[in-house]
Amino acid sequence: MDRRNFLTTTAALTGTAMLSGCNEGHHVAIDYSKHPKQKEKKSVHINRGKKTTIKLATSWPAHFPIMGEGVEEFAKRLEAVSGGSLRVKLYPKNVLVPALAVFDAASSGEIDAFHSGPYYWKGKNSAFSLFSGIPFGFDAEEINSWMLYGEGLQLWRELYANYNLYPLLGGNTNIQMGGWFRKEIKSLADMKGLKMRIPGLGGEVMAELGVNPVLLPAGEIYTSLERGVIDATEWVGPALDIKMGFYKVAPYYYSGWHEPGSILELTFNKAFWDRLGDEHKQMIEVCSSEMNANMTYKFHYENIHSLQKLKEYGVKLRKFPDEVTESAKKALERVIALQSEKNPEFKRVYASIAKHLELSKEYADISLKYFLNVR
């Protein structure tokens, strides 16, 4: 059976008990036999006659490859799964609110939801950057396991609730490349004084290495790189980088460690979320879970094919020198220690990550690392 038709059919016909918790790490069963009136209220199709429109803004342009397209597909799937009772009105970046104003707009109730990345909001709370991922940290599979079955979602929702927000997983970029450089990096000394577009904890680590991190909107990166306003930029990976044309002005393309598995978010205004019927919540969670998976796998598929094209264009693939990588690891320790000292919530979230990551690294060493080496 076609998987999409199957999901559409089951989402419409399956009872709430089967759908509940599809995107939750912990599920508490409810004994409806003790609450007959509540059982009737929670029955399937309670929202058939009630139509809800979700005003959803994104940090991406309309039809933006993979990320923007993924949200558009989510909107179509949700309307189909709900039988038309849930409709998403999409607002690409800068149409209703600026790209990086979506957090505040959803918090205030100006919009109902947004699609973006948690590390953009580290100015609100430095702990938010950890939910995107950390340098030398989780890959896509590991961060999803921490989110869904560890403490990730619980901690994320607890901290976002302070801003009247309720987050869901909304995709993963998979492992990102280390960036495009106008000149080859042969030593740690070559990093000193470089102006590089790089956000999040990766930017803080680079700053420790003597790099000057710069934040630029997507539309200004290529021109800044071409004119020498910046010396380097990271973006995502081959699939999106090739469309930006960076290879034309910065021929050295480096493998990365700053974002090994970067989470994207589908976040709702919490008051709006709480007003939704349970059936509609379950439908949104099912469709967001599908988007989270599909986006991750599509990034991998597009990356492996786009890399071949970049090689044909003469791109020079490189790895950072060992002294740069080792210095970056030490720099990350300093950044984590400083942020943990300044923010107890950062310390608490990182402690949960470190515990999960240590177990995952041990298992990966005897399983995935072995396999990749022999493959």
| Banded model confidence at residue 3, pLDDT cuts 50, 70, 90 | very low
- Mean pLDDT, residues 209-228: 92
Q: Which two tokens stand for residue 100?
A: 């990086």
Q: How confident is the model at residue 33 (pLDDT cuts 50, 70, 90)?
A: very low
**Angle, alpha carbons 364-369-373 (nearest 5°):** 170
Average pLDDT on 132-138 reads 96
> Distance between CA 233 and CA 214 in Å, rounded?
9
- Supply the pLDDT for residue 319: 98
Q: Global pTM?
A: 0.85
What three-state secondary structure class fits 174? coil
114, burial (CB in 10 Å: exposed 0-12, middle 13-18, buried 19+): buried
Could you list the beta-strand ranges (E) of 14-172. Answer: 52-58, 86-91, 113-116, 165-172
Query: b/e map of 321-339 (b: 16 or more CB within 10 Å)?
Result: beebeebbeebbeebbeeb
16 pLDDT exceeds 50?
Answer: no
Report pLDDT digits (tens) over 191-201. Answer: 999 999 998 89
Asked if 342 and 276 count as a contact pair (C-beta separation under 8 A), the reply is no
Q: What is the pLDDT of residue 218?
A: 79
pLDDT of residue 219: 80
